[in-house]
Chain A
Amino acid sequence: MFLKRFFALLSARNKEFLRDKSSTSWNIIMPILIVAGFAVTFTSDFSDQYKVGVFSGTDSDHAQNTNVSTFLKTKHIEFVEITDIEKAIVKIQRHQLDMLLDTSQLQYWINDESPNGYLVEKILNAHGESGLQKQSVTGKEIRYVDWVIPGILAMNMMFSALFGVGYVIVRYRKNGMLKRLKATPVTALEYLSVQIVSRLLLIMAITIFVFYGTNFFIGYAMHGSHLSLLFVFALGAVSMISLSLIVAARITSEETAGGLLNLISWPMMFLSGVWFSLEGTNPIVQNVAEFFPLTHVTAAARSIMIDGAGLLENTYHISVLLIQSTLFLLIGAWAFRWE
């Protein structure tokens, strides 16, 4: 009986979504427009300033070398504190950093294929030879569009999950649809399961469509497993749908729900590392971002697509998403009211 009721509600909900052409097309068109916009805007180098990673090791006295200390005061160069030199070298290979400076070992890395690296090296040596040992690396550039696409896909999932489930449940509660279902043998668990599965299927279908559609025209980096990426996106979608269930658990006003959903989605959109790296930002921001599911979906998807990482390398992000999904689901189901 559970399955019969489940599929009856699932089918009706899916039909409602798919036949609502404005909603469906907006869900598909919006991410395509964003990706296309970024592809056009950032086909050339994104940065308008140079970015240099600085690894101090145990030595924090940059003044040991006059040229280094002068270089570190150069305007229009962003100096980023580096703690993991191996990861920073990968970023040099991908043109995400223009130079890596190790002040403790007096050496630096640049990418021989990077015009920015070449120019930053010229600036370093502007006052004569720096006395630092040069290390060269090579590697294909990761364009901004490659870097930003995992976050855009995840962000689109977030909006679809939060507003597509949370807002809809509140609307149903307000117009009495939930009360009508309460009068039937349908249980809250069945109803919430339908909402999760229905939205998950729609989100995944749209994400796959947008992923392959935009990739066909733009051709961005995808070095990892498609299945791993699918798993991460699905888990992220469940986590964000579950979050929306908490928002929608008791609210009866669409205005309140809209405000609350905006309050959740906007900080996530800007502070989850979708548009810019959180490296070098205020530690408080970085700590807050750790609580956002979008941060972990974006980070895991990015590492799969750009670094070719697998699920094992993303154990931390996957674990956080699993814990968040379970927690949000339990709270959402516990707090749910039909009226």
Chain B
Amino acid sequence: MSAPLLEVRNLIKHYPKVKAVNGVNINLYPGTCFGLLGPNGAGKTTTVEILEGIHTATSGEVLYKGEPVASNFKNEAGIMFQSTALQDFITVRETLMMFAQLYPHNTDIDELIRRCNLTEYLDQDNRQLSGGQRQRLLLAIALVNDPNIIFLDEPTTGLDPQARRNFWDLIDSIKAEGKTILLTTHYMDEAYTLCDEIAIMDHGKIIAHGTPEELLAAHFNDVILQMPATDIPNVEHLPFAVQMKKGLIEISTSDVNKTIEELIASNISLAHLQIRSRNLDDLFIELTGKALRA
């Protein structure tokens, strides 16, 4: 494996009453997408904003290309915050040009506009953009300086499913160029689709770290059988434990055949039976004990 582009060593950020980040260690390798997951208040945004240079750490070390982060880091980093207002009364084109002129080196602006699908809106006032258009513009701004490393803090929050899928394609294309991405998100499907490596944070600490597949394999060896609760009138008579979720009964098992045989033996209809693998949602709840979008 090549040397990390960004190394974070024992990062700590304490506020007077809160330990927001409490000893975080991560490495970001060139050309990969690293997902930082965690419930609200876990310390994700604080961690990312320290790496971006927005906040200073109480202690710890951040190395970029093996050296402590210096002022020129801003020239090589692209940043998309969780929420950013754009200047009113100026157009998409003017906004992009303004940000482009803040950096010594730029990407091909026409290509950036095409790739972020902004061509139709170039002369539109920032105030008139929809949620998806706005997120694409913010991503374009993050890419305007042709960065080596890109920080995306919950980039698809608030977008409709189609806009999210489009955004994922965009991030995939950036990754394909060999850019390094640090992504924070509440959406586990997003993390699973986009990230090569993920870390789950809670209470300011990394509580799990690895590729999505590694983490799922390390924590689960079962699958979930799901059936409508109405199909099992006498749940208490079943020979195994079940969980109720929104009108569905979930049965966790490592031996699917045996479980199905037992359901048949109990005269339960399998007409609506669904079997699913464990996913990052399950892992997240298992590790943090919290609902994903709490």
Contacts and interface: CB of A to CB of B under 8 A. Distances in A.
Given A16-B89, A16-B90, A20-B89, A183 B98 contact: no
A177 interface: yes
Interface stretch (B100-108, B155-163, B174-182): B100-108
A9 B84 CA distance: 17
A1 B104 CA distance: 7
Interface string A10-28: 0111011001100000000
Contacts of A15: 89-90, 94
A16 B102 contact: no
A281 interface: no
A185 B75 contact: yes
A140 interface: no
B209 interface: no
For chain B, which range describes its interface: under 10, 10 to 19, 20 to 34, or 35 or more residues? 20 to 34
B88 interface: yes
Contacts of B97: 8
B54 interface: yes
A185 B95 CA distance: 16
Contacts of B52: 183
Nearest to B144: A184
Contacts of B104: 1, 185
Given A8-B98, A9-B98, A184 B74 contact: yes
Nearest to A8: B101
B87 A177 contact: yes
Interface residues of A, number: 26
Nearest to A338: B54
Contacts of A7: 101
In terms of DSSP, what is the predominant structure of the interface of chain B? loop
Contact of A179 (B71, B84, B89): B84
A183 B88 CA distance: 19
A1 B86 CA distance: 23
Contacts of B75: 185
B89 A180 contact: no
Contacts of B168: none
B184 to A, nearest CB: 15
A4 interface: yes
A7 B100 CA distance: 12
A335 B94 CA distance: 30
A176 interface: yes
Residue from B81, B85, B90, B95 having most chain A Cβ neighbours under 10 A: B85
28 contacts: A1-B104, A5-B101, A8-B97, A8-B98, A11-B98, A12-B90, A12-B98, A15-B89, A16-B87, A16-B89, A16-B90, A19-B89, A19-B90, A20-B89, A172-B85, A175-B85, A176-B81, A176-B84, A176-B85, A177-B85, A177-B86, A179-B84, A180-B84, A180-B85, A183-B53, A185-B102, A185-B104, A339-B54
Interface of B: 52-54, 71, 74-75, 77, 79, 81, 83-90, 94-95, 97-99, 101-104, 141
Interface of A: 1, 4-5, 7-9, 11-13, 15-16, 19-20, 172, 175-177, 179-186, 339
- The 7 A-B pairs of least Cβ separation, nearest first, read A175-B85, A8-B101, A19-B89, A183-B79, A184-B102, A16-B89, A12-B98
Given A7-B101, A9-B98, A176-B85, 9 more contacts: A177-B84, A177-B85, A177-B87, A183-B52, A183-B54, A183-B79, A183-B81, A184-B99, A185-B74
